[in-house]
């Protein structure tokens, strides 16, 4: 049988799919024609809806529901069939709407739970923090973690719809970053490109280097100004614990640059002055050392230094080579002897000048040995101390510039008036130190702008008792046993005279050397006015202290007539003070310091004092010209911090916080690069070595004597570059880009910008910049 043989009744046409309710009997196939009410209740009105015609009622049940019913309508118009109440059901349309509304309500409820509960910060967090931030913020309350970086997190969600939250009004996210990172990045410079201020940029030549233009130059510039670079421009959080916060592409690096290029091997600007030997603060000429000194077979350890760079540049525990070793390990074997000789010359703190007639000048109790004529040299340190007094400073200016009274013009009334004035000041200084001790020296130096540390270091070594003892003896009232200027003790053969440059064996013949006499000894001096027996004897003759101190010294032979102050033995600083120190120089009536070795604290202080003085101060050049300090300046130079001398050099090479960083460690691990001279080739006879190096803007060139190997910033020697040059030839040939490109290219070692360049720059000093080798000039005086 086939389906078309069946003739089922037509389906009802009274269904209302848009209605909210449908008859419960519809599923049974017998829906009522009325349908449920709007409220979902069954109408219970029977199977039909009678129709009134001409005063009578007729059944209107459609044929699909069975046609006219048998009882027919009642007289009142109601259906004759008994109503069959049903349970109405919702139509499909309205069931679907209920699902939609229910879904929306459930969604809104879920969102409210997510946002409103104490777990909201954890739920809405868009990914894990990087490991470093997660560790730091993990100790905070959950409610505070988001607020550490997001200003809006400190407010309630209700504040979302207000103009600004009460918690962090005006606070930006970058400022919250700096709350933790301000130590590494100064706040006032944090949003500037490369963290450099405009003055700092001025020191860096920003003119475009000569590179070929490319289509990349036409790409748009960054979407922010170069002085409003937010942290989030490069650092994006919430990308997982292992995410690299500093990851940035080469193109992104270049988005702020004028000239853009494809890669390090393709289009990167060439350089001509890298690596700079500027960061070291030790003046060291590799060329002469390798060509001359290390080549001398007589030089100690020459082969070691010549053959192995690591003998002076050993590697640290991290694998980075040190810029230099200690003086004892690297330099002393050759330089100690010379340095000791030069340092022994030391410096004079106090010296009694000689005047023709002290009594007439109003100076009572003036040492007789310092009378009769103008003589004596006022050292730079003494002059500096005297300048603390304004009137004395004016008097000092009247005297010869180097403080040598022997050069005084007796016919100059100004100088004649100034000399006793200065002499009186010297006596007064003696008294001050005797009474107040070290503060008398320190206060005078600090009052003239000398750094307190340097002044205290000078005074730390000085014993006020030494000065007091000298004052008591030298400035004692004139008596028959007055102080005589003691003859110099006989020096052993080969020893140096105090203040001399070293053992003068050339002037001694064999007999004199064996006898221990000095041809310059007391014999000829006996004819000098200072050896006049008529001036009296030594008032300290018989002093047991003096006798005990001179007990070890060799007996003076040919030393002239003994002092009338019997018992005062001459003091041999060379023999008795090999380690240096302050002593009384009876010959010159001076308190003198004898240095002895490298890193002498007093010499160090002298140079720091000189560095703190104005450039035009006469004492500054005088202090620098002392033989002892000259010995220091042969190797040490000014630090780029501008605060004066920098005695130490940055330890590791290549790791400064500048635009370019370089780590030796991974390079030294390669066998081909283990030889330092593969990259650092001496520039002997190299024309490129004559290429001058530019110096920071604001510095003025001087002779090479004033320059040290310092440098700051990149260089560009264009025709309009007016920066001064460091005219000294280079030690090493510049390392060209081609050398680096051999490995750092696509497919090889990393050629990313961030491999070698840094964004956060910390200049080693603040303006004004300091020239290498020069002493600081604070305030531009």
Partner 1 sequence: MFDSPGTAPASPVSRFVRRRRWSLCLVGAAAVSLASGLWLVSQRLGHPAFLSGGTLFACLLLLPLIGLRRRFPMLPLGTMSTWVQVHLYTGLFALVAYLLHVPRVVADGIFEGGLSWLFLGVSASGFYGLFVSRTAPRRLTAVPGNYRFGQIGWHRQRIAELASGMLHDLQSTPAAEVLGTFYQENLHPFFTSRPGFAYVALPTGTRRRRLLAGLGRIDRYLEADTQQAAGRLAALIRMRDDLDYHFALQLRLRLWVVFHAVLSLALLLASTVHLLLVLRFAGH
Of the candidate residues 116, 127, 138, 746, the single one contacting partner 1 (CB under 8 A): 127
Of the candidate residues 132, 160, 552, 670, the single one contacting partner 1 (CB under 8 A): 160
Identify which of 374, 467, 485 has the alpha carbon closest to the alpha carbon of residue 420. Answer: 374
Q: How far is the CB of 4 from partner 1 (least distance, A)?
A: 9
Q: How far is the CB of 116 from partner 1 (least distance, A)?
A: 12
Residue (22 or 761) nearer to partner 1, CB: 22
Dihedral sign, Cα of residue 34, residue 35, residue 41, residue 44: positive
DSSP tag of 693: E
Q: Of the listed pieces 55-63, 170-178, 550-558, 599-607, which binds partner 1 according to CB under 8 A?
A: 170-178
DSSP tag of 280: -
For the chain, the first-to-last Cα distance in angstroms comes to 122
Q: List, in order, residues 6 or more apart from 296 with CB less than 8 Å away.
A: 302
Question: Considering the rule CB under 8 A, would residue 18 count as an interface residue with partner 1?
Answer: no
Q: How far is the CB of 262 from partner 1 (least distance, A)?
A: 14
Cα–Cα–Cα angle for 302, 306, 310, nearest 5°? 110
Q: Rounded CA gap, 442 and 456, in Å?
A: 6
Q: Which helix (H) or strand (E) holds 592?
A: strand 590-594
Q: Which of residues 26-65 bind partner 1 (CB under 8 A)?
A: 26-31
Cα–Cα–Cα angle for 490, 494, 497, nearest 5°? 50
Contact 333, 301 (CB under 8 A): yes
Q: What are phi and psi of 81, to 5 degrees?
A: -80, 150
Q: Is 113 helix (H, G, I), strand (E, B) or coil?
A: helix
Question: Considering the rule CB under 8 A, would residue 87 count as an interface residue with partner 1?
Answer: no
Of the candidate residues 136, 164, 219, 406, the single one contacting partner 1 (CB under 8 A): 219
Q: How far is the CB of 130 from partner 1 (least distance, A)?
A: 12
Return the percent helix, strand and coil in the chain, to nearest 5: 35, 5, 55
User: What would the x/- binding string for partner 1 be over residues 237 to 276, using CB under 8 A?
Assistant: -xxx--------x-xx--x---------------------
Q: List, in order, residues 6 or more apart from 744 with CB less than 8 Å away.
A: 264, 265, 750, 751, 755
Residue (53 or 223) nearer to partner 1, CB: 223
Question: Considering the rule CB under 8 A, would residue 76 count as an interface residue with partner 1?
Answer: no
Q: How far is the CB of 190 from partner 1 (least distance, A)?
A: 12
Q: Of the listed pieces 95-103, 352-360, 389-397, 588-596, which binds partner 1 according to CB under 8 A?
A: 95-103
Q: How far is the CB of 755 from partner 1 (least distance, A)?
A: 19
Q: How far is the CB of 75 from partner 1 (least distance, A)?
A: 32
Q: Rounded CA gap, 218 and 214, in Å?
A: 8
Of the candidate residues 130, 174, 345, 495, the single one contacting partner 1 (CB under 8 A): 174
Of the candidate residues 9, 116, 578, 748, the single one contacting partner 1 (CB under 8 A): 9
The length of the chain, given as a count of residues: 781
Q: Rounded CA gap, 152 and 139, in Å?
A: 20
Of the candidate residues 67, 71, 103, 542, the single one contacting partner 1 (CB under 8 A): 103
Of the candidate residues 146, 423, 425, 488, the single one contacting partner 1 (CB under 8 A): 146
Q: How far is the CB of 191 from partner 1 (least distance, A)?
A: 10
Question: Considering the rule CB under 8 A, would residue 233 count as an interface residue with partner 1?
Answer: yes
Of the candidate residues 37, 113, 123, 690, the single one contacting partner 1 (CB under 8 A): 123
Identify which of 381, 443, 281, 382 has the alpha carbon closest to the alpha carbon of residue 775. Answer: 281
Cα–Cα–Cα angle for 15, 16, 20, nearest 5°? 125
Q: How far is the CB of 105 from partner 1 (least distance, A)?
A: 10
Residue (111 or 452) nearer to partner 1, CB: 111
Q: Rounded CA gap, 159 and 147, in Å?
A: 14
Question: Considering the rule CB under 8 A, would residue 780 count as an interface residue with partner 1?
Answer: no
Residue (128 or 197) nearer to partner 1, CB: 128
Of the candidate residues 5, 39, 70, 509, the single one contacting partner 1 (CB under 8 A): 5
Of the candidate residues 20, 45, 150, 737, the single one contacting partner 1 (CB under 8 A): 150
Q: How far is the CB of 10 from partner 1 (least distance, A)?
A: 10
Q: Of the listed pieces 101-109, 293-301, 362-370, 625-633, which binds partner 1 according to CB under 8 A?
A: 101-109
Q: Of the listed pieces 6-14, 309-317, 444-452, 622-630, which binds partner 1 according to CB under 8 A?
A: 6-14
Q: List, in order, residues 6 or more apart from 523 with CB less than 8 Å away.
A: 517, 558, 559, 560
DSSP tag of 536: -
Q: Rounded CA gap, 725 and 249, in Å?
A: 36
Question: Considering the rule CB under 8 A, would residue 138 count as an interface residue with partner 1?
Answer: no
Q: DSSP letters of 614-667?
A: -TT-HHHHHHHHSHHHHHHHTTB-B-TTSSSB--S--SBTT--SSSB---HHHH
Q: DSSP letters of 121-149?
A: HHHH--SPPPHHHHHHHTTS-HHHHGGGT
Residue (193 or 427) nearer to partner 1, CB: 193
Q: Rounded CA gap, 715 and 535, in Å?
A: 69
Of the candidate residues 74, 108, 164, 702, the single one contacting partner 1 (CB under 8 A): 108
Question: Considering the rule CB under 8 A, would residue 690 count as an interface residue with partner 1?
Answer: no
Of the candidate residues 100, 113, 300, 452, the single one contacting partner 1 (CB under 8 A): 100
Q: Is 349 helix (H, G, I), strand (E, B) or coil?
A: strand
Of the candidate residues 68, 87, 96, 417, the single one contacting partner 1 (CB under 8 A): 96
Residue (100 or 545) nearer to partner 1, CB: 100
Question: Considering the rule CB under 8 A, would residue 195 count as an interface residue with partner 1?
Answer: no
- Number of neighbours of residue 471 by Cβ within 10 angstroms: 21
Contact 73, 80 (CB under 8 A): yes
CA distances from 726 to 232, 550, 688, 704 (A): 41, 54, 14, 8
Q: What are phi and psi of 100, to 5 degrees?
A: -65, -50
Question: Considering the rule CB under 8 A, would residue 115 count as an interface residue with partner 1?
Answer: yes
Of the candidate residues 153, 190, 343, 368, the single one contacting partner 1 (CB under 8 A): 153
Residue (161 or 411) nearer to partner 1, CB: 161
Q: How far is the CB of 294 from partner 1 (least distance, A)?
A: 51
Site size toward partner 1, by CB under 8 A = 64
Question: Considering the rule CB under 8 A, would residue 222 count as an interface residue with partner 1?
Answer: yes
Residue (13 or 703) nearer to partner 1, CB: 13
Return the exposure string of 527-544: e unless at least 16 CB atoms fall within 10 Å of the residue's CB, then b. Answer: eeebbeeebbbbbbbebe
Q: Of the listed pieces 2-10, 436-444, 532-540, 671-679, which binds partner 1 according to CB under 8 A?
A: 2-10
CA distances from 651 to 8, 83, 193, 283, 778 (A): 103, 105, 28, 15, 26
Residue 410 C-alpha from the chain's centroid: 55
Of the candidate residues 152, 245, 727, 741, the single one contacting partner 1 (CB under 8 A): 152
Of the candidate residues 134, 230, 431, 676, the single one contacting partner 1 (CB under 8 A): 230
Q: Rounded CA gap, 699 and 684, in Å?
A: 28
Residue (263 or 767) nearer to partner 1, CB: 263
Residue (171 or 741) nearer to partner 1, CB: 171
Q: How far is the CB of 245 from partner 1 (least distance, A)?
A: 14
- Number of neighbours of residue 772 by Cβ within 10 angstroms: 27
Catalog residues that contact partner 1 under the rule CB under 8 A. Answer: 1-3, 5-6, 8-9, 11-12, 15, 17, 22, 26-31, 91-92, 96, 99-100, 103-104, 106-108, 111, 114-115, 122-128, 146, 150-153, 160, 172-174, 219-224, 230, 232-234, 238-240, 249, 251-252, 255
């Amino acid at each position: 049988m086939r389906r078309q043989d069946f003739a089922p009744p037509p389906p009802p046409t009274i269904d209302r799919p848009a209605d909210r309710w449908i008859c419960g009997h519809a599923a049974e196939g017998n829906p009522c024609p009325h349908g449920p009410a709007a409220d979902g209740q069954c109408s219970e009105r029977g199977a039909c809806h009678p129709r009134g015609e001409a005063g009578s009622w007729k059944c209107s049940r459609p044929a699909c529901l069975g046609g006219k019913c048998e009882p027919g309508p009642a007289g009142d118009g109601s259906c004759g069939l008994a109503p069959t109440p049903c349970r109405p059901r919702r139509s499909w349309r309205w069931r679907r709407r209920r699902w939609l509304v229910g879904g929306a309500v459930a969604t809104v409820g879920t969102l409210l739970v997510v946002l409103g509960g104490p777990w909201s910060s954890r739920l809405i967090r868009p990914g894990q923090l990087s490991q470093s931030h997660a560790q730091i913020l993990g100790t905070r309350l959950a409610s505070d973690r988001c607020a550490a970086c997001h200003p809006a997190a400190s407010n309630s969600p209700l504040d979302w719809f207000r103009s600004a939250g009460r918690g962090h009004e005006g606070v930006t996210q970058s400022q919250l970053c700096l709350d933790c990172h301000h130590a590494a990045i100064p706040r006032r410079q944090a949003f500037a490109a490369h963290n450099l201020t405009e003055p700092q940029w001025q020191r860096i030549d920003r003119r475009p280097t000569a590179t070929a233009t490319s289509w990349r130059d036409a790409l748009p510039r960054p979407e922010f100004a170069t002085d409003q670079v937010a942290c989030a421009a490069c650092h994006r959080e919430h990308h997982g614990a292992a995410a690299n916060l500093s990851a940035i592409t080469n193109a992104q690096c270049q988005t702020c640059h004028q000239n853009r290029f494809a890669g390090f091997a393709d289009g990167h600007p060439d350089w001509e002055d890298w690596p700079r030997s500027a960061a070291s603060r030790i003046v060291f000429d590799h060329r002469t050392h390798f060509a001359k000194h290390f080549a001398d077979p007589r030089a100690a350890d020459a082969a070691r230094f010549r053959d192995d760079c690591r003998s002076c540049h050993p590697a640290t525990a991290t694998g980075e080579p040190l810029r230099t070793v200690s003086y004892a390990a690297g330099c002393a074997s050759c330089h100690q002897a010379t340095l000791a000789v030069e340092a022994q010359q030391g410096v004079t703190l106090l010296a009694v000048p000689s005047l023709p007639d002290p009594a007439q000048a109003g100076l009572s109790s003036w040492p007789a040995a310092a009378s009769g004529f103008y003589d004596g040299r006022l050292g730079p340190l003494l002059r500096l101390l005297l300048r603390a007094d304004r009137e004395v400073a004016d008097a000092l200016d009247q005297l010869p510039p180097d403080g040598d009274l022997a050069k005084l013009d007796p016919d100059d009334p100004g100088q004649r008036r100034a000399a006793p004035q200065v002499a009186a000041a010297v006596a007064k200084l003696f008294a001050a130190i005797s009474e107040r001790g070290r503060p008398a020296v320190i206060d005078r130096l600090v009052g003239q702008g000398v750094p307190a540390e340097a002044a205290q270091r000078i005074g730390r070594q000085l014993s006020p008792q030494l000065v007091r003892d000298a004052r008591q003896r030298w400035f004692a009232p004139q008596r028959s046993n007055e102080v005589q200027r003691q003859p110099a003790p006989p020096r052993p053969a080969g020893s140096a005279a105090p203040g001399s440059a070293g053992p003068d064996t050339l002037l001694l013949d064999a007999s004199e050397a064996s006898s221990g006499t000095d041809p310059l000894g007391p014999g000829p001096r006996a004819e000098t006015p200072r050896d006049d027996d008529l001036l009296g004897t030594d008032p300290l003759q018989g002093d047991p202290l003096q006798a005990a101190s001179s007990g070890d010294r060799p007996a003076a032979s040919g030393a002239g007539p003994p002092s009338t102050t019997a018992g005062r033995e001459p003091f041999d600083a060379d023999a008795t003070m090999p380690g240096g120190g302050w002593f009384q120089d009876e010959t010159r009536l001076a308190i003198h310091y004898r240095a002895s070795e490298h890193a002498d604290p007093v010499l160090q202080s002298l140079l720091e004092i000189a560095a703190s003085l104005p450039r035009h101060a006469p004492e500054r050049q005088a202090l620098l010209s002392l033989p002892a300090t000259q010995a220091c300046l042969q190797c040490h130079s000014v630090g780029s911090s501008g605060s004066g001398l920098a005695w130490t050099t940055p330890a590791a090479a290549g790791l400064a916080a500048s635009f370019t960083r370089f780590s030796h460690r991974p390079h030294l691990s390669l066998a081909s690069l283990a030889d330092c001279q593969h990259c650092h080739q001496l520039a002997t006879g190299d024309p490129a070595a004559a290429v001058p190096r530019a110096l920071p803007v604001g510095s003025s060139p001087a002779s090479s004597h004033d320059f040290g190997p310092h440098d700051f910033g990149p260089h560009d020697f264009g025709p309009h570059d007016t920066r001064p040059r460091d005219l000294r030839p280079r030690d090493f040939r510049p390392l060209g880009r081609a050398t680096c490109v051999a490995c750092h290219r696509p497919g090889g070692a990393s050629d990313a910008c961030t491999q070698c360049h840094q964004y956060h720059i910390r200049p080693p000093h603040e303006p004004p910049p300091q020239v290498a080798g020069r002493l600081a000039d604070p305030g531009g005086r």
